[in-house]
Amino acid sequence: MNFDFDDAQKALKKQTRDMLKGVCPAEVPRRILEGDEPYAEEVWRALVDMEAPATAIPEQYGGIGFGYLELCVIAEELGRSLAPTPFSSSVYLATEAILLAGSEEQKREHLPKLAKGETIATFGYAEGAGVVTAQGLTTRFAAGKLDGVKSPVPDGDVASLAVVLSGSADGPTLALVELDGEGVSRRPVETLDPTRSHAEVTFEGAPAVILGAAGEGWALKDRLFDRAAVLFAMEQLGGADACLAMAIDYAKGRYAFGRPIGSFQAIKHKLADLYIKNELARANCYYGAWALSTDAPELPVAAAAARVACIEAYHHAAKENIQTHGGIGFTWESDCHLYYRRSKLLALALGGARVWKNRLIDALEAKAAQVEQPAEMAHAG
């Protein structure tokens, strides 16, 4: 079985990388970090112009219908470039939620606008600090109205549409709400990485409609997060690769005692460890990409494994990149901290490492139970 991308997908990868090198040099995320812009409009427009948001949307809904493998290679390059855009919120989460649970009418209404970048959307999940549980949801949906507070909501300050996980009389339910409509207020929330904006969104009788079936919101959220986890992992892989490349370049060019510091064992072994972690993460990402693209039963296991491996790889690579750069790596002027910030932010997206380790254990136990049950039936027969 070949887990590598084909020639067309590699060409798309190169096209995306070349485009992002042109429109998103290191100065762009730094500008967003130090300024008041919530995201880089020129980078978002460039992605829209190359139809990146439409990649996995079927043609009947205004997309180009390439598929998830193509979306995965785009995600990796977005992570490599630190692109400060609402792409992950709008594409990995909101678009996928509508594809997964939306009615035919909802798909035809919203997906063409999402494909063209006319609508930026997001997914409201968290309710402050701590792990969200199905029983602990305080945001409520009833009689077509939404009440409660979601925070932090990724790109909640710029999105015009949101899918919100809420409680209801039937149980956890997904609701679709216009963020520019009545009953909605927003305020920016500061995070470690301001290049990916977040907001606190308050709903006070905001008009909303159900996405999917009432009471099935938690199960739909789990399915959505399995799909989004693979795409976030690909972003983390791209960032980890960029950190390794930065560390290698610096180690080759920085001289101490008349030699490049990369010739010393302490640095060589450090970089070798980075490479090994990155390649382990890549193997898990490619497995996840295959499971996502084929909608395989192994997706929950593959997604959780990719997520855990990439959280660890990106954090390790970002941290050791700073160490390799030495004193200069700790300064504001160095770009090392931009990757460290992004690694910490992405590590918490969709829940942190502990959440995904638990999901991996649960998925493996469920898979083992499925194997044991037919064996027991055969033995009984």
Tens-place pLDDT, residues 142-178: 999 999 999 999 999 999 999 999 999 999 999 999 9
As a whole number, mean pLDDT of residues 26-51 equals 96
User: Tokens standing for 54?
Assistant: 């439409």
Tens-place pLDDT, residues 172-230: 999 999 999 999 999 999 999 999 999 999 999 999 999 999 999 999 999 999 999 99
The predicted structure's pLDDT at residue 133: 87
- 307 and 224 part of one domain: yes
Is 21 within the bounds of a domain? yes
Angle between helices 217-253 and 68-81 (to 10 degrees): 50
CATH number, position 354: 1.20.140.10
CATH number, position 13: 1.10.540.10
Given 3-state DSSP classes, what are the helix, strand and coil percentages for the chain, each rounded to the nearest 5? 60, 15, 25
Question: CB atoms < 10 A from the CB of 293, how many?
Answer: 17
Contacts of 76 (CB under 8 A, 6+ apart): 13, 234, 235, 237, 238, 241, 285
**Number of domains present in the structure of the chain:** 3
The predicted structure's pLDDT at residue 378: 55
Instruction: Give, in degrees to the nearest 5, the angle at Cα 92 between 86 and 93.
Output: 90
Query: Is residue 372's pLDDT more than 90?
Result: no
Question: CB atoms < 10 A from the CB of 169, how many?
Answer: 11
User: Tokens standing for 321?
Assistant: 């990149």
Residue with tokens 């216009």: 178
The predicted structure's pLDDT at residue 375: 52
Question: CB atoms < 10 A from the CB of 378, how many?
Answer: 8
As a whole number, mean pLDDT of residues 270-281 equals 96
Residue 374 confidence class, pLDDT cut points 50, 70, 90: low
Tens-place pLDDT, residues 13-24: 999 999 999 999
Residue 4 confidence class, pLDDT cut points 50, 70, 90: confident
In three-state secondary structure terms, 64 is coil
- 111 and 145 part of one domain: no
CATH number, position 174: 2.40.110.10
Domain that holds residue 357: 218-378
As a whole number, mean pLDDT of residues 372-379 equals 59
Phi, psi of 218 (to 5 degrees): -70, -45
